Chains A and B, each alone.
Chain A
Amino acid sequence: MSDFPWQSAFEIRDQVAGGSASAIEVARAYLARAEALNPKLSCFLTIDHEGALAAAAQVDRAREAGEELGPLAGVPIALKDNLCTRGVRTTCASQILGEYIPPYDAHVVEALRASGAVILGKTNLDEFAMGSSNENSSFANVHNPWALGRAPGGSSGGSACATAAGLAPLALGSDTGGSVRQPAAFCGITAIKPTYGRVSRYGLVAFASSLDQIGPMARSVREASQLLQVIAGHDRRDATSADRQTGQYVAACDRGVKGLRVGVVRDLLDGLQEADVRARVEAALSALEKEGATLVDVSLPHAKHAVSVYYLIATAEASSNLARFDGIRYGLRVPGADLTETYTKTRAQGFGPEVRRRIMLGTYALSAGYYDAFYLKAQRVRTLIRRDYDTAFESCDVVCTPTTPTPAFALGEKTSNPLDMYLADIFTLPPSLAGLAAISTPCGLSASGLPIGLQLVAPPFEEEVLCSAGQVVEDGCGLVGSRPAALD
């Protein structure tokens, strides 16, 4: 195996298919690395040693039998622990599901198994995917591999960390308001938030059903595109899954950006407090321009309301979705004197502080007398945010902003002030509310050596253009080849 652990998914697949490395050998090497570094990083909640070796052995047998190998044959992958895996515990980083073993695989897990991917284990997250720093995990804090005292981002912090630290070349996360893009930006990797409906959520534990999407994470745009290719497509088990042709995402990486109109939200960029973030974004824009893109000014006048809108809608939906955790059919049960007390005790002990806070906020926003003032009003302002994008896309093909206002903040920096934590999501929330496709890819390092992410947003089902533009940003100012310093 050459260049372990930094080989790409394509290189691993080629080595396995060509016989220069066996899938078992690859799996053993990554498992050993994960087991060695996890005590330091806490990015895995479960390492499925046995399952990974069994999947790898199956790939090796298929190769020996001369069968055609899938596009991810022998490629190790890490899965966020809110994706159901048959026979492997799926916790959502919550005590209420601490020992839950799903009797079925999520759609994306089936797709990965069919592609020959080797699932290494399940990654840490903010409990039920609610958070922006991974500090809401009820098990452990994940550490950013670029600076161990900093947050990896959230909620897919474990997946981002594992990928950035070379514990797996690929990972899946889920994104409700930025949960693959923000940790990707903090950890210096690429993540795609597909259009709402592009990837089936069957088997993804629901947080906010009008927003949730599963997204690929990788150290390069091309690998993220390959992973999207494997998981995208219609699935009748998810009623919101779009019955539409998928794109040619890997091929799109080679198309360039000649003639592409890149919308720049000038007032957002000018309002940035962090000079480093602004400078790196400007450099990425220059790289796009140099390759033939044109920059046009666009505005998103209602984007500033996205935090309010999102934290009303997402919490309302969460309060409803999380009603299923009642201590009766699966998960934790804390017995009470009667049924009601069994419910309330189970939920009070089983859910952590942030999940309880969001259930409370959502229940309040939906409750009699407040529905119109909060929930319905938020849904109306959501329309204005969506219309902002409709207008922007009349004059551009993609909208560009930073992914986050700052590079990775310190662990503990925002935990005492929930609102402060929510405000850090300002750039990733608007495209989520509008259901759009988005990518975050690195556009350089800050003066203190922390990764900075660029976000590109495209109209519904136009993921291909994100792959093309993302590749140009990566070629011009990406971090492929840079290694997280904190691991040395």
Chain B
Amino acid sequence: MADAKITFEQVLHVAKLARLTLSDEEARQMQEQLDAILGYMEGLDELDVSNVPPTFHSIPMDAPMRPDVPERCSDRSEILEQAPESQSGGFAVPLVLEVE
């Protein structure tokens, strides 16, 4: 991990992946803070865990199955009321494709 600390360009790339816009000033500050945090995290390098299995779930559990029975869900109008914009019973989104 020694050379993995984050560069300014990487910050901009990650922001793009995360769908966030950062001003230059915000990106510079973010780079500084993430660099300090990632520097601290290098402490994990003292452990050799190549043979240790990962714990994705702390408490072992099976993926439960249930009968596939249709049920009433929330009222559509109540859900659409929370949308920033709705139209004809659906969510309205900015234009994605040009229409002739």
Q: Which residues from chain A contact B78 at a C-beta distance below 8 Å?
A: 103
What bracket does the count of chain B residues touching chain A fall in? 35 or more
Give the distance to chain A from B66, nearest Cβ to Cβ, in Å: 6
Please tell me if B84 contacts chain A, counting CB pairs below 8 Å: yes
Q: Check if B37 sits within 8 Å of A345, measured CB to CB.
A: no
Q: Among residues 53 to 85 in chain A, which have CB atoms less than 8 Å away from a CB atom of chain B?
A: none
Q: Check if A363 sits within 8 Å of B93, measured CB to CB.
A: no
Q: Check if A332 sits within 8 Å of B84, measured CB to CB.
A: yes
Please tell me if B64 contacts chain A, counting CB pairs below 8 Å: yes
Chain B interface helix/strand/loop/mixed? loop
Q: Check if B33 sits within 8 Å of A104, measured CB to CB.
A: no
Give the distance to chain B from A353, nearest Cβ to Cβ, in Å: 8
Q: Check if B19 sits within 8 Å of A239, measured CB to CB.
A: no
Please tell me if B99 contacts chain A, counting CB pairs below 8 Å: no
Docked Cα-Cα span, A197 to B58, in Å, equals: 10
Interface string of A304-329 (1 = CB under 8 A from B): 11011101100000010001001111
Please tell me if B89 contacts chain A, counting CB pairs below 8 Å: no
- Residue in chain A with minimal CB distance to B56: A379
Q: Which residues from chain B contact A4 at a C-beta distance below 8 Å?
A: none
Partner of B47, one of A331, A359, A384, A435: A384
Chain A residue total in the interface (Cβ 8 A): 73
Interface string of A369-400 (1 = CB under 8 A from B): 01001101111111110100000000000000
Docked Cα-Cα span, A377 to B52, in Å, equals: 9
Please tell me if A487 contacts chain B, counting CB pairs below 8 Å: no
Q: Check if B43 sits within 8 Å of A308, measured CB to CB.
A: yes
Give the distance to chain B from A395, nearest Cβ to Cβ, in Å: 21
Q: Check if B82 sits within 8 Å of A460, measured CB to CB.
A: no
Please tell me if A227 contacts chain B, counting CB pairs below 8 Å: no
Q: Check if A363 sits within 8 Å of B18, measured CB to CB.
A: yes
Partner of B41, one of A103, A308, A434, A460: A308
- Residue in chain A with minimal CB distance to B48: A380
Knowing A305-B47, A374-B41, A435-B59, say if A383 contacts B54 (CB, 8 Å): yes
Q: Check if A363 sits within 8 Å of B44, measured CB to CB.
A: no
Top 4 nearest A-B pairs by Cβ distance? A435-B58, A379-B54, A333-B84, A380-B49
Q: Which residues from chain A contact B53 at a C-beta distance below 8 Å?
A: 380, 383
Please tell me if A246 contacts chain B, counting CB pairs below 8 Å: no
Q: Which residues from chain A contact B10 at a C-beta distance below 8 Å?
A: 364
Docked Cα-Cα span, A434 to B58, in Å, equals: 5
Partner of A243, one of B47, B63, B64, B91: B64
Q: Check if A386 sits within 8 Å of B58, measured CB to CB.
A: yes
- Residue in chain A with minimal CB distance to B86: A329
Please tell me if A344 contacts chain B, counting CB pairs below 8 Å: yes
- Residue in chain B with minimal CB distance to A383: B55
Docked Cα-Cα span, A4 to B73, in Å, equals: 42
Give the distance to chain B from A394, nearest Cβ to Cβ, in Å: 18
Q: Which residues from chain B contact A326 at a C-beta distance below 8 Å?
A: 19
Q: Which residues from chain A contact B84 at a C-beta distance below 8 Å?
A: 327-328, 330-333
Q: Which residues from chain B contact A384 at a C-beta distance below 8 Å?
A: 47, 49, 52
Partner of B11, one of A308, A360, A381: A360
Q: Among residues 52 to 75 in chain B, which have CB atoms less than 8 Å away from a CB atom of chain A?
A: 52-59, 61, 63-64, 66, 74-75
Q: Check if B93 sits within 8 Å of A380, measured CB to CB.
A: no
Q: Check if B58 sits within 8 Å of A328, measured CB to CB.
A: no
Q: Among residues 219 to 276 in chain A, which have CB atoms less than 8 Å away from a CB atom of chain B?
A: 236, 239-240, 242-243
Query: Which one, A127-135, A286-294, A334-342, A406-414, is touching chain B?
Result: A334-342
Please tell me if A418 contacts chain B, counting CB pairs below 8 Å: yes
Q: Which residues from chain A contact B81 at a C-beta distance below 8 Å?
A: 101, 103
Give the distance to chain B from A261, nearest Cβ to Cβ, in Å: 23
